Amino acid sequence: MYKQVLKISAGFILAAGISASPAFAGGEAEVLHWWTSGGEAKALKVLKDDFAKNGGTWKDMPVAGGGGDAAMVTLKARIVSGDPPTAAQIKGPTIQEYDDEGVVGPYNIHSVATAENWDALLSPQVANHMKCDGFTKYCAAPVNIHRIDWFWANKKVLDANGLKMPTSWPEFNAAATKLKAAGIIPFAHGGQPWQDATVFEAVAIGIGGNDFYRKAIMELDLDALGGSTMVKVFDQMRILQGFTDEGMPGRDWNVATGMVMNGKAAFQIMGDWAKGEFANAGLKPGIDYYCLPTPSNHGYLYNVDSFIFYSMKGENKIEGQKLLASLMMGKNFQKVFNLYKGSIPARLDVPMDEFDMCAKGSAADLNYAAMTGGLLPSFAHGMALKLAQKGAIQDVVTEHFNSKMSSKEAASRLVRAVKDTL
Amino acid sequence: MQTADPIQMKALERSASRKRTFYRWLLFLILGLFGIYYLAPMYVMIVTSLKSMEEIRQGNLMTLPGEIMFDAWKTAWSGRGYAAGDVFLRPFFWNSIKLVVPAVVISTFFGALNGYALTKWRFKGDNLLFLLFLFGCFIPYQAILLPMARTLGMMGISNSIFGLVLVHTVYGLSFTTMFFRNYYISIPDEMIKAARIDGAGFFKIFFKVLLPISSPIIVVTVIWQFTGIWNDFLFGSSFSFGESAPIQVALNNMVLTSTSVKEYNVDMAAAFIAGIPTLLVYVFAGKYFIRGLTAGSVKG
Amino acid sequence: MFYWLQKNLPKIVIAPSFAVILWFVYGFILWTIYISFTNSKMLPRYDFVGLKQHIRLWSQWRWYNAVENLLIFTVLFIAICIIIGIFLSILLDQKIRAEGFLRTVYLYPMALSFIVTGTAWKWILNPTMGIQKLVRDWGFTDFTFDWLVNRDMSIYTIVIAAVWQSSGFVMALFLAGLRSIDDEIIKAAKIDGASLYSIYITIILPMLRPVFMSAIVILLHISIKSYDLVIALTAGGPGTSSDMPAVYMTQMAFHRSEIALASASAVMMFLTILAIVVPYLYSELRRQDANR
């Protein structure tokens, strides 16, 4: 009798246990990221909801600050302790760097990628970024493509001064000089190292050209880094510095965008996440503000946000990884996510009709640049170089932009800095 | 000595007291000016947290709020009501309490025990031992983050409150041992000797004789540890996950987000809320702090 | 057996704490030293490459810059904190009614985390939002106070915020020290006709030597560990003008995948601490023993 009661109770407990944990159905995922506010948070929520709808349990692990700086500390601590997060917001060559350290194999999501035929859904350049093991196995999933080299401008200010959007750097310099005389801050800028680097690379492809960028920045050719073209690039940086205001150092990028929005300043160079600021303020492209690529020869600096999937212990978590990866490449998700975030889908077959004119232009430019060899990974946003080299270049760029260093000196420092990290 | 002229005496006295009053006023002026230097940031914080964003954009730092609004405080504490990346402080507040209390209690207790053993029971090498403890006060935490992560991982507690409590306790030991050791060293040995003669053993003396008179230094140690652990960000963000993170991680996530409009009033309110426990601890225990310092680390 | 236990009880009691310190402090220091001799990039690696990283470290202008900033900062920070601390403590010692309140006012900054301090001061020191704007709004349109965004002066803004945060604590230390000085000594000196000023200089301050030492040690440890404040206030900028060794080390280790280089810089920091702190502590302990 007693044994019977025991058996029945055990049965109940077991049943209760099983039914009380739907987590087992869709897997679980601990996701490290720094998208904690505004459009980015809304965009991420789409993923969270999708994941939950499919039975997964999402454990949020946000660490804001410095565009991911604080999160990197947390991430390394977790990896070294042997318990990496299920997915982490990692992009660019850093993905392969982690693979070199041996913490990504056996590439849990590769089976999902082959099953869903990601090779056909992504452009080869983007796909390569997502692959490990000598670019053969998928180990990360892309969620978007950001364009970096945009000019954002206040239409009213330009109209009031009889100016059109510049299509060459000399044209920009002339326009800026005119604006300065009229009491407008020509160039709104936030003096943080990554922003300085962003402007630098836009200027590099504009003044030096796509091939120059490829040689100097991507291949780290020391002659190109220290040569006369680089000096010209730094010259233009110095000119740009003259068009900023005194509050520039340390300013956050969205505050600079705010200056353009309210007409205190005319131009800003920033990636297309700036679009979100305009949208939030109810401003429309072409009517209140202009978005145009910075002058270059059909260059296109891109940044692909992605999530890396580390090697995991526990079936539950591996299930979670596979589900996440699949959801991230989902057609609808890519559309909604990018509508919120201001970027364009990484997946090639997403219908673009709901996107605004800047995004549509970006997609068209992307295809053209891919065909003509102007599609270039942004070094400032970690797509082109290993972190040590990116940091070395960034140090020199930001030092130069925030001082009176001569262009020649900057170029030679660039060579020295890069040499040291090789 | 000549008898002084009473009128002259009175005049001298008056000028002396006028001088004293003058110096008194000067004293208050100087103290007041410094007070402004110290209070200015807090004034800015509170005033900003009570303004609306419009007012903040238009006015400058120092202006009083035209209309006092507590909305920012509510948002900082309990969020905006939608869950899209909404970070607010309430749940993390309790995480910090759960973390701080055990860490403070354990490190204080062992610090006291160590201080006692090092000073009232001399043995060879006790000074060297103390020196070795002291050096631990200077370790930059970033330098040991990775080996700590490894160790916690090996112990299986790298992602839990136990791990955090261990980390904070360990690095608090150097300070707590220093505080108690310096305090006990100035307590006359006679007390201990008398108790020993009466037949009391090691622990009895500790609990019955020393602890009862240790309240000033206990307060000092608790304040120091509480402040340090409550305000820690580095360990909190590295060794805890998402929802069980301590409050500074949440504050960081609220204030240092890099996109969308910065809501300065919410940021300031959040910063203030995160600082309230330590502020309270200081205000109420400030008295004991001074008393404890006199008897403790000051005289060395 | 019981006697042995009793005799060694103190050592047994300390043993757990000591074991913990041995591992978590000294073990980790040794680990860091070892890593500084390897080629570790993103995650620790255990190959041995000799002094390569140390040589690299000393060829980096950014490191020199950080060290120079540390020297400037430390000297100013310690000197100003002590001067203000002594000054305020002497003033507060004059038995005024508002002492409790003022003491709290001067002491509370230490209770705030660096994130809070950095954010508030970043605002106050920003030329377009803070003091400069305020004074200009008052009518002094030529007033400039743009240290925060000036690469030559940015390190001094960190001094301002750091002094604000820690000088109250120094004041508390000195106040406690002053209170513990016997009034008789001062009375005797006054009877001998010494002026208040010379009493302070020749009698009281020398008696506070231990307090000076404690303050210096505590301030030094805060200075070497300065990371959160720098990041919150200037992020090391403009450019890298307000960079500090702790910031450099963290960036190298976690954002540049140069863990070995970072460890080399950490070793430098350890050596510096060793060189300054150990002689002081040693002499302090010697003196205490002599006095027992």
| Residues B91-110: tens digit of each pLDDT | 888 888 999 999 999 999 99
The reported pLDDT for the residue numbered A153 is: 93
Chains that touch B (3 or more CB pairs under 8 A): A, C
Establish how many alpha carbons lie within 13 A of residue A124's alpha carbon, considering only the half-sphere containing its beta carbon: 3
Report CA C217 to chain centroid distance, whole Å.
8
- Most distant CA atoms of chain C, gap in Å: 84
The reported pLDDT for the residue numbered B166 is: 92
| CA nearest neighbour of B217 among B284, B138, B285, B165 | B285
Output the CA–CA distances (angstroms, integers) from residue B56 to B47, B264, C129, in the order listed. Answer: 10, 8, 10
pTM attached to this predicted model: 0.81
The reported pLDDT for the residue numbered A26 is: 66
Sequence-separated (6 or more) residues with CB below 8 Å from residue B259: A35, A37, A38, A39, A40, A254, A273, A276
Q: Residue A133, SS3?
A: coil
Q: What is the 3-state secondary structure (H, E, C) of C63-127?
A: HHHHHHHHHHHHHHHHHHHHHHHHHHHHHHCCCCCCHHHHHHHHHHHHHCCHHHHHHHHHHHHCC
Give contacts of A 56-85 with C, CB under 8 A.
66, 69, 72-73, 76, 79-80
Q: Residue A263, SS3?
A: coil
Q: Taking the alpha carbons of A245, A251, A256, A262 in that order, is the dihedral positive or negative? A: negative
Identify the residue with better confidence: C205 or B85: C205
Pairwise CA distance, residues A276 & A260, whole Å: 13
Residues of A near B (Cβ–Cβ under 8 Å) read 30, 34-42, 44-45, 59-67, 70, 73-74, 76-78, 80-83, 85, 252-255, 258, 273, 276-277, 280
**pLDDT band with cut points at 50, 70 and 90 for residue B293:** low
CB burial readout A32-66, b (16+ within 10 A) else e: bbbbbbbbbbbbbbbbbbbbeeeebbbebbbbbbb
- Using the Cβ of C113 and the Cβ atoms of chain A, whether some distance falls under 8 Å is answered with no
The reported pLDDT for the residue numbered C253 is: 86
Q: What percent of chain B has pLDDT over 70?
A: 84
The reported pLDDT for the residue numbered A18 is: 39
- Using the Cβ of A15 and the Cβ atoms of chain C, whether some distance falls under 8 Å is answered with no
Sequence-separated (6 or more) residues with CB below 8 Å from residue A43: A35, A336, A337, A338, A340, A341
**Under an 8 A CB cutoff, do C231 and A66 touch?**
yes
- C176, B294 Cβ separation under 8 angstroms: yes
Pairwise CA distance, residues B217 & B291, whole Å: 8
Q: Is the pLDDT of residue B79 over 80?
A: no
| CA nearest neighbour of B264 among B85, B21, B32, B55 | B55
Min distance A260 CA to chain B CA atoms (Å):
14
**pLDDT band with cut points at 50, 70 and 90 for residue B16:** confident
Give contacts of A 369-398 with C, CB under 8 A.
386-388, 391, 395, 398
Pairwise CA distance, residues A151 & C42, whole Å: 35
Q: Which of C119, C252, C254, C284 to mutate to test the interface with B (most CBs of B within 10 A)?
A: C119
DSSP string, C127-173: TTTSHHHHHHHTT-TT----GGG-TTTHHHHHHHHHHHHHHHHHHHH
Number of H helices, E strands in chain C: 15, 0
Pairwise CA distance, residues A36 & B85, whole Å: 5
- B183, B295 Cβ separation under 8 angstroms: yes
**pLDDT band with cut points at 50, 70 and 90 for residue B288:** low
Q: Is the pLDDT of residue B258 over 60?
A: no
Packing angle between helix B161-184 and helix B215-230, nearest 10 degrees? 150
User: What parts of chain C have a pLDDT lower than 50?
Assistant: none
Sequence-separated (6 or more) residues with CB below 8 Å from residue C12: C5
**Under an 8 A CB cutoff, do A97 and C256 touch?**
no
The reported pLDDT for the residue numbered B294 is: 53
Q: Taking the alpha carbons of A89, A368, A280, A151 in that order, is the dihedral positive or negative? A: positive
| CA nearest neighbour of C214 among C78, C112, C113 | C78
Pairwise CA distance, residues A214 & A209, whole Å: 9
Q: What is the 3-state secondary structure (H, E, C) of chain B?
A: CCCCCHHHHHHHHHHHHHHHHHHHHHHHHHHHHHHHHHHHHHHHHHHHHCCCHHHHHHCCCCCCCCCCCCHHHHHHHHCCCCCCCCCCCHHHHHHHHHHHHHHHHHHHHHHHHHHHHHHHCCCCCHHHHHHHHHHHHHCCHHHHHHHHHHHHHHHCCCCCHHHHHHHHHHHHHHHHHHHHHHHHCCCCHHHHHHHHHCCCCHHHHHHHHHHHHCHHHHHHHHHHHHHHHHCCCHHHHHCCCHHHCCHHHHHHHHHCCCCCCCCHHHHHHHHHHHHHHHHHHHHHHHHHHHHHHHHCCCCC
Average pLDDT over residues B249-264: 70
The reported pLDDT for the residue numbered B101 is: 92
Q: Taking the alpha carbons of A227, A233, A238, A241 in that order, is the dihedral positive or negative? A: negative
Pairwise CA distance, residues C141 & B73, whole Å: 35
Of A74, A85, A254, the CB nearest to B260: A254
Long-range contacts of C5-11 (CB under 8 A, 24+ apart): C6/B201, C6/B202, C9/B117, C9/B121, C9/B202, C10/B117, C10/B118, C10/B121, C10/B123, C10/B202, C11/B117, C11/B123
- The predicted-structure confidence for B151-162, as pLDDT tens digits, reads as follows 888 888 877 788
Of B62, B227, B300, the CB nearest to C288: B300
Q: Residue A378, SS3?
A: coil
Q: How many CB pairs under 8 A join A and C?
A: 92
Name the residue of chain C whose CA is nearest to B230's CA.
Answer: C113
The reported pLDDT for the residue numbered A407 is: 92
User: What single-letter DSSP state applies at residue A294?
Assistant: P
- A213, A205 Cβ separation under 8 angstroms: yes
Average pLDDT over residues B261-277: 78
Q: Residue A375, SS3?
A: strand
Sequence-separated (6 or more) residues with CB below 8 Å from residue B167: B148, B152, B235, B239
Chain C residues within an 8 Å CB radius of A101: 42-43
Q: Is the pLDDT of residue B22 over 90?
A: no
The reported pLDDT for the residue numbered A3 is: 55
- A285, A302 Cβ separation under 8 angstroms: no
- A94, A83 Cβ separation under 8 angstroms: no
User: What parts of chain A have a pLDDT lower than 70?
Assistant: 1-26, 37-39, 66
The reported pLDDT for the residue numbered C79 is: 94
The reported pLDDT for the residue numbered C134 is: 75
Beta-bridged to residue A57, according to DSSP, are A28
Pairwise CA distance, residues C173 & C108, whole Å: 14
Q: Taking the alpha carbons of C87, C91, C94, C96 in that order, is the dihedral positive or negative? A: negative
Min distance C47 CA to chain A CA atoms (Å):
14
- Using the Cβ of C241 and the Cβ atoms of chain A, whether some distance falls under 8 Å is answered with yes
Name the residue of chain B whose CA is nearest to A255's CA.
Answer: B261
Name the residue of chain A whose CA is nearest to C235's CA.
Answer: A250
Q: Strands A28-33 and A87-88, how do they pair?
A: parallel
- A222, A422 Cβ separation under 8 angstroms: no
- C98, C138 Cβ separation under 8 angstroms: no
Of C126, C231, C256, the CB nearest to A388: C256
The reported pLDDT for the residue numbered C273 is: 82
| pLDDT mean across residues, chain B | 79
Sequence-separated (6 or more) residues with CB below 8 Å from residue C52: C39
Average pLDDT over residues B282-286: 74
Q: Residue A246, SS3?
A: coil
Pairwise CA distance, residues A292 & A361, whole Å: 9
